Structure 1
Amino acid sequence: MLYPELYAQLEKARWNMATDIPWEEFDADKLTDEQAQTVRMNAITEWSALPATEMFLRDNKDDSDFSAFMSIWFYEEQKHSLVLMEYLRRFRPELVPTEAELHAVRFEFDPAPKLETLMLHFCGELRLTQWYRCASEWHSEPVIKHIYRTLSHDEARHGGAYLKYMKRAIEQHGDEARTAFAKIGMLMAASARAGKPLHPTNLHVNQSLFPNDTVQSRLPDPDWLEDWLTQKIRFGSEWEQRVVGGILRNLSSLFGVELDTVQALNRYRKTLGASPAA
């Protein structure tokens, strides 16, 4: 089982919201209205760990190990929402999300193949790691800069945990897992070419609710994410390459082959599709 090992690792890295966030360093002159609004939207977005956890538990009823790990992931992701709301409560109380706004991003996700979902969320953690690093650099107020750095470190650790379950999946399912991971890896690594970097919160996940079936579509401002990335934190090609590089490096290690470009990943994916096992 991976859960006991991951519990011990993540427990050592766990931060305390009361003592590890330097609330006393807040500088009101360095927090703009624009920046405070982005904190509000991220707080609501992070609340969507709730329906994601419900999805994982539903679709992994045969996997008690991974389901137990969800207790850690869910706790830490909900704490991300909570610390952002605490920041607003202390310094911009008029912007604290309402319970109705939080509940709006809790809706049922359609069932999906477990291996593809695992890879999708692994890539999502890599992307969030870089989004939050970039956000920390964009912000000028010291406390929220520290919070985003803290969240970025959490997301990186979560990606590492998902990677361990991906390694286990290859041991158990062989080329079936490799094919699923390569397919989603291609989708996520090449998504920026279509002008829309993909993340679990902007994917359609419930056909009966379409088009109001992405987390972002259910925010008070459905266009917020694109504007935040392009006009606010300016998550450009240099940052995007860090995401793509992380996907390729980890898949190279996972598959035991060198995948230094998206094209190389695509060629490898095609070899899996041609194999009898696939």
Structure 2
Amino acid sequence: MLYHELFKSMESVRWNMSHDIPWDDFDGSKLTDEQAYTIKMNAITEWSALPATEMFLRDNKDDSDFSAFMSVWFFEEQKHSLVLIEYLRRFRPELMPTEEELHNVRFEFDPAPPMETLMLHFCGEIRLNHWYRRAAEWHTEPVIQAIYKIIAQDEARHAGAYLRYMKRALTQKNQDVGHQARIAFSKIGVLMASANRTAQALHPTNLHVNKALFPNDTVQSKLPSPDWLENWLDTQILFDKEWEQKVCTRILHNMSLLMGTEFSSAQELNRYRKELIKNAPMQTTESGILLA
């Protein structure tokens, strides 16, 4: 089991909201209304770890190890929301999310293949790490800068934990299961490493997850300002092509290590995916998003 080891490692570096956040360094002259509002939106977005956890537990009923790890992931992700809300409570109480606004992002996600979901969230943690690092640079108020740096580090650790479970999936005694996992990981890897070719930000909170609610079935669509994310990325934190390339490079690097094959581009990974499908057992198929 991985849960015991992951719990111990994350417990050893867990930060304390009272002692590790430099609350006394707050400088109100360096916090703009525009910046404060983005903190509210991120606080609500982070709250969506709740429905994501419900999804993970539902779709991984046969995996008690991974389900137990969700207790760690859920705690730390909700803590991200909590620290952002606490920041607003102290310094911009009028912008604190209401309980209704928080509850609005809790809705059911359609069932999805567990391995594809695992890979999607692995990539999502890498992307969040880079988004929050860039947010820390964009903000000018020192306390929120420190908060974004801290939660960015958490997201990197979460990506590492997901990667451990991905490695475990590839070493199953049943080789067909491992082969299917390779197809699932490479499929989502192609999608998430091709974000510079898409109009939308490719993160789990910005993808459609409930056909019955379409098109209002993304976490971002449930926020008070559904279009805030694109503006935050494009005109505020300026998450440009250079930063996007850092995300793609990191995904491809990890896929190279995971698969034991060097990938320098999404196109190379896609060719690898097609070879996997070509050599797959007859019962192995792809589901979900179709790739050319």
CA displacement, residues 43-64 of structure 1 (integer Å, 9 cap, x when unaligned): 0000000000000000001000
Which of 228, 253, 261 aligns to 1:249? It is 253
Q: Deviations over 1:240-278 (max 9, x none)?
A: 011101100000000001011111111111110110335
The residue that corresponds to 1:103 in the other structure is: 103
Match for residue 113 of structure 1?
113
The equivalent of 1:193 in structure 2 is 197
Instruction: State the 1:195 CA deviation.
Output: 2.2
2:256 and 2:262 in contact (8 A); partners too: yes
**1:75 partner amino acid:** F
Distance 1:200 1:26 in 2: 32
TM-score (norm 1): 0.99
Q: 1-side partners of 2:13 and 2:247: how far apart?
A: 23
Query: In structure 2, what residue type is equivalent to 1:165?
Result: Y
**CA distance, structure 2, for counterparts of residue 23 and residue 195 of structure 1:** 38
4+ residue segments displaced more than 4 Å: none
Tell me the residue number matched to 2:21. 21
| Number of residue pairs matched by the alignment | 278
Maintained 8 Å contact 2:179/2:280: no
Query: Which deviations, in whole Å up to 9, do the C-alpha atoms of 1:175-215 show, x marking residues without a partner?
Result: 11000000000011112212223100011101111111100
Taking the TM superposition and a 5 Å limit, the aligned residue runs for 1:32-51 are: 32-51=32-51
Amino acid at match of 2:93: P
CA contact (8 A) 2:3 2:65 kept: yes
Superposition pairs for residues 24-103 of structure 1, below 5 Å? 24-103=24-103
Structure 1 residues 41 and 264, CA, compared in 2 at 3 Å: closer, same or farther?
same
SS in 2 for 1:243: helix
| Equivalent residues of 1:192, 1:198 under 8 A apart | no
User: Structure 2 length as normaliser, TM-score?
Assistant: 0.94
Q: Percent identity?
A: 69
Deviations 1:51-99 (A, max 9, x none): 0000000000100000000000000000000000000000000000000
- The match for 2:3 is 3
For residues 199-239 of structure 1, the C-alpha deviation after alignment (integer angstroms, 9 at most, x for no partner) is 00011101111111100000000000011000110100111
Q: Who is 1:205 aligned against?
A: 209
Matches within 5 A, 1:129-140: 129-140=129-140
Tell me how large the CA RMSD over aligned residues is: 0.7
- Distance, in Å, in 1 between the alignment partners of 2:195 and 2:140 is 30
Aligned counterpart, 2:154: 154
- Alignment partners' CA distance in 1, 2:109 and 2:130: 25
CA distance in 2 between counterparts of 1:191 and 1:205 reads: 18
Contact 1:188 1:197 in 2 (8 A): no
C-alpha contact (below 8 Å) 1:175/1:272 kept by paired residues: yes
- Residues 170, 177 of structure 1: 8 Å contact kept: yes
Structure 1 spans left out of the alignment, 5+ residues: none
Which residue identity is paired with 1:122? F
For 2:194, the aligned partner's letter is: A
